[in-house]
Amino acid sequence: MILSWIAAALSRMVSYGTPLLLGTLGEIYAERSGVLNLGVEGMMILGAVSAFATAYTTGNPWLALLAAAAAGGLSSLIHGFFSISLRANQVISGLALTMFGLGLSGLFGKGFAGLPLDNPLPKVTVPLLAEVPLLGTALFQDKSPLIYLGILLTPVLWFLLFRTSLGVNIRSVGENPAAADAAGLNVWRIRYGCVFFGGVMAGLAGGFLSVAYRPAWTQGMTSGMGWIVVALTIFASWNPTRGLFGAYFFGLLFYLSYRLQPWLAPEILQMAPYLGAVLALVLINLFQKRKGGPEALMEPYKRGEK
Amino acid sequence: MFSTKLKLAVSVLLICILSIYFVGAVAQSAEDETMKAAFIYVGPVGDYGWSHAHDVARKKVDEQFDWLETVYVESVDEAACEATIDQVVRDGADVVFTTSFGFMDPTVKAAEKHPETIFFHCSGVKRAPNLGTYFAELHQTYYLNGLMAGALTESDQLGYVGAFPTPEVKRHINAFAIGAREVNPEAEVQVRWINDWYNPAAAKEATQALISAGVDALAFTEDSPTVLQVAQEEGAIGFSHYSPMYRFAKDATVSGQLVDWAVLYEDILMKIREGIYTSDNLEDVDYWWMLKEGAAEIGAKGDIPINPKYVEKLKEKQVEDPLLGKLSVFELIQKRLEQMKAERVLFDPFIGPLYSRGGRQILQQNEWATHDQLWQMQWAVEGVVGPWPGEPKS
């Protein structure tokens, strides 16, 4: 009995946690390069509507994921253009992208609202691993491939960021773009690349929502998940592996807030992740010499300016 | 190149242009002969729930009446409601429908400001000479769905995913529980609140939580078909809410509560057209329409009142009613439908003796709940399990 409870909770944890994880991994890269992108919600929902429209018209859910990634990536370039090329305020440009995404997806999705999807993303069971008692059934049985993608990408992105020269370049652009520039790095290209990658991941997260998690398109269906991603990025202190724990932790608490509702006020559990994000910021600032975020986060870079 | 201030200004301008463009109330000037009606929605028309159902009705009356022209504004925030009303009145609206409980006070204020314009507010309780109220009430249909759920459940555990703990949602949960326990005294209704009218992810996880707690039949108040989609995936059953959701879950959808706002809008608009309703006689005009008037109906979708998959089982299950004698649940449902659709309504779920789950007697033997009792319902009936914010102490 208790085991099946736990298995159910773990299974929900990875399911709800996955769109958050994908989005967070992308946003970590964008912010590591020095660009705060508050447009996650907008990119995510553009991904969701593109994925649903593609899956519905072509019948191919894999193509739908490609469309979601493309929609997220392309829309992120809007933010890139304003915040990197025009050096506009990143907060405002990101907010504009969110509003733009929510509006455009509503307009574009009008014809798709209320349609069932006959061909959602298939679920996959990992042989052998699924045989493991408890964890196997919870994590590896009948799961969306994107859940596995999130789990696999996390260590890869961690390695890339902290153990390769590309990672060093990204981080140095986010810490001190002037020095990076002087060292011969193309700040402009690295920032655009990271923002684009963030958009691709946010788009995928949206695609997961509309063709796997709940195969349907309804307007505003991301219902604030993009904002949770922004909070999780801080909670994870810009580290992909901590991003995985954060996203899953949030997913677990979200599920438990309903599972434990008869005994525990749901508000307490739903508040916990945000409280955690604030706490993480406080702890980082108290115990780490350096500030929590990348030093040059939100600072537009212009060659020759201090 | 560009100064920071200029860039800031350009960005702000961009935001403004985009939001105006996409929120978009597009209105054209009215001709003399046509009547112009404006609809103000709280959600997006694509939500496939509440606002969607209103918009389906708007389109229907728009097509039906040559003399009518309609406009709508969607996703209107409560704070922006009054300004939105001013806008549509300026653009020449003769009648304004505001379709969210939260629009009540802004509508009252707007009605004072524009005495020549006729207002109708959905689900509210405040009226004025030029402001009437209307509502399609669903507790009868929830009760009928409860009869089905009680007969079809195998675990005796029913679930309800509730939006907000408002009197309306509480009334519907109670009616569902009363129906279920009429045919299955062992049945319990477990409730989970998601504190949102529209939040598919929350609805999904709440449904999963209920299923994990042993629930196998689900009703809900949330404006998307999510609960039914999860039920379909997990082999549970459920009931469509507001819009026909059968196509999303063909096996899981047993029946549901369907609303036809068009019958209400038709009636209101025709009476305005004929001069029966004017801008100074609406003080007592309050529509509270249900099965009898055709505003509410049961159904998995329009032409499927009960999913044929479950009819056999409902016919097999026998119950004993003190007045109707021994009959099948299927027959009981037909009988109740008949009684509630009769010109003089012969049955209501809220007839005494009725006790709250705290043990307090709410209705005496054969006493019917009054409109106010229904409208302000706070208590939970026996058989409802789980948190119940605002529950009276005794």
Contacts of A230 (CB under 8 A, 6+ apart): A27, A38, A40
Q: Chain A closest CA to B251's CA: distance in Å?
A: 14
The DSSP output letter for B392 is -
Contacts of B157 in chain A (CB under 8 A): none
Q: Chain A closest CA to B228's CA: distance in Å?
A: 11
Query: Which stretches of chain A are DSSP H helices?
Result: 2-32, 40-58, 61-80, 90-109, 135-140, 145-163, 165-175, 177-182, 187-208, 225-235, 240-259, 266-287
CB of A292 within 8 Å of any CB in chain B? no
pLDDT at B28 over 80: no
Domain of A29, CATH number, reads 1.10.3470.10
Listed by number, the residues of chain A in 248-287 with a beta carbon closer than 8 Å to a beta carbon of chain B are 254-255, 258-259, 261-262, 265-266
Burial class (CB in 10 A: 0-12, 13-18, 19+), A202: buried
Mean pLDDT of A125-151: 89
pLDDT at B47 over 80: no
In contact, A68 and A50? CB cutoff 8 Å: yes
Tokens of B364: 């005496």
Instruction: Kindly identify which residue of chain A lies nearest to residue B48, measuring between CA atoms.
Output: A114
More confident residue, A133 or B207: B207
CATH 3.40.50.2300 fits B139-258+294-385, yes or no: yes
In contact, A166 and A37? CB cutoff 8 Å: no
Phi, psi of A57 (to 5 degrees): -85, -35
What interhelical angle do A165-175 and A187-208 show, nearest 10?
100
Instruction: Kindly identify which residue of chain B lies nearest to residue A255, measuring between CA atoms.
Output: B205
Closest CA to B142 of B240, B40, B278, B67: B240
Neighbours of B320 (CB within 10 A): 9
Domain ranges (residues) in chain B: 34-136+261-273, 139-258+294-385
**Rounded Cα–Cα distance for residues A87 and B328 (Å):** 72
The verdict on residue A13 lying in a domain is yes
pLDDT in tens, B151-193: 999 999 999 999 999 999 999 999 999 999 999 999 999 999 9
Identify the domain containing residue A242 by its residue range.
2-287
B201/A262 CB distance under 8 A: no
Q: Which of B7, B198, B247 is the best mutation test for A, with the most CBs of A within 10 A?
A: B7
B209/A258 CB distance under 8 A: yes
CB of A52 within 8 Å of any CB in chain B? no
Q: Give the N- to C-terminal CA distance of chain B in Å, as an integer.
A: 71
Q: Which of B14, B23, B189 is the best mutation test for A, with the most CBs of A within 10 A?
A: B14
In contact, B219 and B240? CB cutoff 8 Å: no
A267-280: b (≥16 Cβ within 10 Å) or e? eebbebbeebbeeb
B7/A213 CB distance under 8 A: no
pLDDT at A128 over 90: no
CB of A16 within 8 Å of any CB in chain B? yes
Angstrom distances, CA of residue B222 to CA of A37, A241, A301, B264: 31, 35, 46, 22
Helix, coil or strand: residue B198: coil
The verdict on residue A274 lying in a domain is yes
B202/A223 CB distance under 8 A: yes
B224/A215 CB distance under 8 A: no
Tokens of B298: 């049961």
Tokens of A213: 């998690």
- Confidence label for A267 from pLDDT (cuts 50, 70 and 90): confident
Listed by number, the residues of chain B in 238-257 with a beta carbon closer than 8 Å to a beta carbon of chain A are 243, 247-248
- Confidence label for B13 from pLDDT (cuts 50, 70 and 90): low
CATH 3.90.550.10 fits B34-136+261-273, yes or no: no
**Rounded Cα–Cα distance for residues B320 and B201 (Å):** 41
The verdict on residue A85 lying in a domain is yes
The verdict on residue A182 lying in a domain is yes
Listed by number, the residues of chain A in 86-115 with a beta carbon closer than 8 Å to a beta carbon of chain B are 86-89, 92-93, 95-96, 99-100, 102-104, 106-107, 109-110, 113-114
**Rounded Cα–Cα distance for residues A132 and B3 (Å):** 61
The verdict on residue A298 lying in a domain is no
Closest CA to B232 of B214, B241, B245: B245
pLDDT at B29 over 80: no
Q: What percentage of chain A reaches a pLDDT higher than 70?
A: 97
Instruction: Kindly identify which residue of chain A lies nearest to residue B215, measuring between CA atoms.
Output: A259
In contact, B15 and B59? CB cutoff 8 Å: no
A219/B44 CB distance under 8 A: yes
Mean pLDDT of B144-154: 98
Tokens of B6: 């200029």
Helix, coil or strand: residue B160: strand
More confident residue, A132 or A105: A105
In contact, A208 and A254? CB cutoff 8 Å: no
pLDDT in tens, B263-294: 999 999 999 999 999 999 999 999 999 999 99
pLDDT at B388 over 90: yes
As for how many domains chain A has, the answer is 1
pLDDT in tens, B208-221: 999 999 999 999 99
B208/A12 CB distance under 8 A: yes
Task: Report the alpha-carbon angle A48-A51-A54, nearest 5.
Answer: 145
The verdict on residue A193 lying in a domain is yes
The verdict on residue A270 lying in a domain is yes
CB of B205 within 8 Å of any CB in chain A? yes
Q: For residue A207, what pLDDT is reported?
A: 97
CB of B365 within 8 Å of any CB in chain A? no
State the pairing for strand pair B253-259/B296-298: antiparallel
In contact, B94 and B116? CB cutoff 8 Å: no
Mean pLDDT of A60-65: 97
Residue in A100, A218, A266 nearest the CB of B18: A100
Look over chain B and give the mean of its residue pLDDT values, rounded to a whole number. 91
pLDDT in tens, A139-196: 888 899 999 999 999 999 999 999 999 999 999 999 999 999 999 999 999 999 999 9
More confident residue, B390 or B13: B390
Least confident of A296-300, B16-20, B248-252: B16-20
Do B34-136+261-273 and B139-258+294-385 have matching folds? yes
Listed by number, the residues of chain B in 265-304 with a beta carbon closer than 8 Å to a beta carbon of chain A are none
**Rounded Cα–Cα distance for residues A127 and B115 (Å):** 71
Contacts of A93 in chain B (CB under 8 A): 11
CB of B198 within 8 Å of any CB in chain A? yes
- Kindly report the pTM of this predicted structure: 0.87
Q: For residue A190, what pLDDT is reported?
A: 97
- Match 């115990």 to its residue by tokens: A287
